[in-house]
Every structure is written in C-alpha cells, then in structure tokens.
Amino acid sequence: MIIKGRVHKFGDNINTDDIIPAKYLDSQDKVFLGSKCMENIDASFAKRIKKGDIIVAGKNFGCGSSREHASWAIKGCGISLVIAKSFARIFYRNSINVGLPILIFPYTDAINNSDILEVNLTKGEIKNISQNRVYTCDKFPFFMRQIINAGGVIAWIKGRKNASHQKS
C-alpha cells in the first residue's frame, strides 16, 4: 500500500477540537466535516488540500475527546495519511475504524511543510522525495491494511461476513 502526497505540518498536542470544532458535531456528513477540518488553527486549511495530501505532526496528535468526527473530518477533506510522533489512543483507534491510515514516526522534525512524501505502509518506508531521503518505519500490520482497504472496520466486517457466506 503506497500513499503519495504533499505534507501539511502541525506541532504537538493537536486536539480533536482543533481538528473539528465542537460546533459541527451535530453532523455526520464527512464532506461537510472535511470542509471545516483544522478551522480553529488555519481557516484556509481544507481549501488547500489536494486529495492524497498527508498530515505530519508532533506528539499526542488527536488528544481530547473520543469523537470519530475528528478522523472523519481529516479523511473527508482528502487527507490520505497522518504521520505523527505519537497519537492519543482513542484517536488512533477511531482512525483505523473509519479507514484513515495513521503512522507513528518519531522523526517528524526531519520532514518539512510542503515536502512530497511517498509512504509504503507494507514495507515500512517513507521516501521524502523533496529531500531525497528514505526513512524506515514500522510496517503497517496486514489486518490493519485490510481494514483501511475496505474503507473502515464496519466495511471490513461486512466483507468478511459476505465472504464466509459465499464459502458455505
């Protein structure tokens, strides 16, 4: 699984209210939520995103409340991957559940805003095309790649259920 995109860089402790303001939590429309993504930090963020772009951040990304809306908003605005030094546990779980790949990488300081990355989740490799550098990282586990490829855990479960019915 290879993801290629332009970097949008953030610092430490980006919380779920930074990702999607609480005033929008009455919506479950992922495109709408995506249009409001990072509004509290940068009102023009969602307008600058091109499908496939990547968020790179520091420590404790996604801290705060346990809302799935934050992961929906990131995915809904077109971000294909979030790379951070660390994630809040519930945000990590919610992201996988909704089909948003996230990757722990302790050296995000080496990546600059607007760099172009090519990330191979299967091999555990981050190519910084802009800087002509290659980094190794943990491989994305097979079952998590299956969940991401299915579009989230609900779709993955439905697909497995349908596959088991076809075998019977």
- Residue written as token pair 């990488």: 105
Q: What whole-number distance in Å separates Cα of residue 22 and Cα of residue 18?
A: 9
Q: What's the Cα-to-Cα distance from 125 to each of 3, 80, 105, 152, 160, rounded to whole Å?
A: 11, 16, 10, 23, 29
Residue pair 117/108 in contact by the 8 Å Cβ criterion: no
Q: Binning pLDDT at 50, 70 and 90, where does residue 109 land?
A: very high
Checking if the pLDDT of 111 tops 80, the result is: yes
Q: Is 151 helix (H, G, I), strand (E, B) or coil?
A: coil
Q: Which is more confidently placed, 166 or 81?
A: 81
For the cut 80, the answer to whether the pLDDT of residue 16 exceeds it is yes
Confidence band for 166, pLDDT divided at 50, 70 and 90:
low
| Whether pLDDT at 162 is above 90 | no
The CA dihedral of 47, 40, 88, 151, to the nearest 10 degrees, is -30
The tokens describing 158, both together, are 């439905």
Count of CB atoms situated within 10 Å of the CB of 106: 12
121, exposed or middle or buried, with CB in 10 Å at 0-12, 13-18, 19+?
A: buried
Give me the phi and psi of 114, to 5 degrees please. 75, 0
Confidence band for 163, pLDDT divided at 50, 70 and 90: low
pLDDT at 29 (0 to 100): 92
Tokens of 44: 């023009």
Q: Identify the burial level of 51 via C-beta atoms within 10 angstroms of its C-beta, where 0-12 means exposed, 13-18 middle and 19 or more buried.
A: exposed
Per-residue confidence band for 106, with pLDDT thresholds at 50, 70 and 90:
very high
Model pLDDT, residue 164: 58
Mean pLDDT, the chain, whole residue set: 92
- Summarize pLDDT for 48-90 with one digit per residue, the tens: 999 999 999 999 999 988 789 999 999 999 999 999 999 999 9
pLDDT surpassing 70 at residue 129: yes
Beta-strand ranges (E) seen in 16-107 are: 54-57, 81-84, 102-104
Confidence category of residue 167, pLDDT binned at 50, 70, 90? low
Q: Report the SS3 class of residue 16.
A: helix
109 phi and psi angles, rounded to 5 deg: -65, -25
168 has pLDDT over 70: no
Radius of gyration of the chain (CA): 16
